[in-house]
Each structure stands twice: as C-alpha cells, then as structure tokens.
Amino acid sequence: MNLKGRGMNTWHDLPRAQRIWFDEDNLWVELADGRQVGVPLAYFPRLLKGSPEQRVRYEMSGGGTGLHWEELDEDLSVPGLLAGVARQEATA
C-alpha cells in the first residue's frame, strides 16, 4: 500500500540532525539539509543544569530525528525542536 500523499510520514521525510553542539546559552542543531538551528538552553532545564561534559554525551536515534541524554534523562525530537522554534519566531 502506498501511503505517500495521504498525510503519513516516515522518518525519511522528517527533519534529521546531522550533528549538535552547545555554546554558553544555546543548543545548536545542524540538520541533514544544511540548516542550522539554535534553541535557548533555558527551554530545557535538564540540559541547562547539566555540565558541558554531560551535554556532549548524547545519542541520536531514528536516523537523527531523536536526541537522547541518558545521564540527564532528556529526550528531544528534532521535528519538535523545529516546531517550537517556528512558534517562537511567529510570536516574536
């Protein structure tokens, strides 16, 4: 059954992280399509409170659609990050 065009997404259609990094105030995500998105750490208290060493110990899942920090008990979805960034920009 071909579900393409019927509102059904596969993880291949979702935005995917290629790499992530942090500066003093932000989580940065480089997407597979080349875009870079910065999100304030203040949105993620567990990451904000974590040490720089804890922040760099993460795992990607779903081909880059998910980010997981075992030690900090934090899970983020890359599509969710983009939706949140879009909402913040729309209200700014």
Domain-by-domain residue ranges, the chain?
17-91
Q: Domain spanning 17-91: which superfamily?
A: Uncharacterised protein PF10387, DUF2442 (3.30.2020.40)
Under the banding of pLDDT at 50, 70 and 90, the label for residue 13 is confident
Determine the residue type at 88.
Q
What are residue 69's phi and psi, to 5 degrees?
Answer: -115, 100
Under DSSP, the state recorded for 67 is E
Structure confidence at residue 26 (pLDDT): 97
Structure confidence at residue 32 (pLDDT): 96
What is the percent of the chain where pLDDT is above 70? 79
Under the banding of pLDDT at 50, 70 and 90, the label for residue 34 is very high
Distance, CA of 75 to CA of 91 (rounded, Å): 25
- For the question of whether the overall pTM of this predicted structure is more than 0.85, the answer is no
The residue-averaged pLDDT of 65-86 equals: 93
Cα four-point dihedral sign 69, 73, 77, 82: negative
| Residue pair 41/22 in contact by the 8 Å Cβ criterion | yes
The residue-averaged pLDDT of 28-43 equals: 96
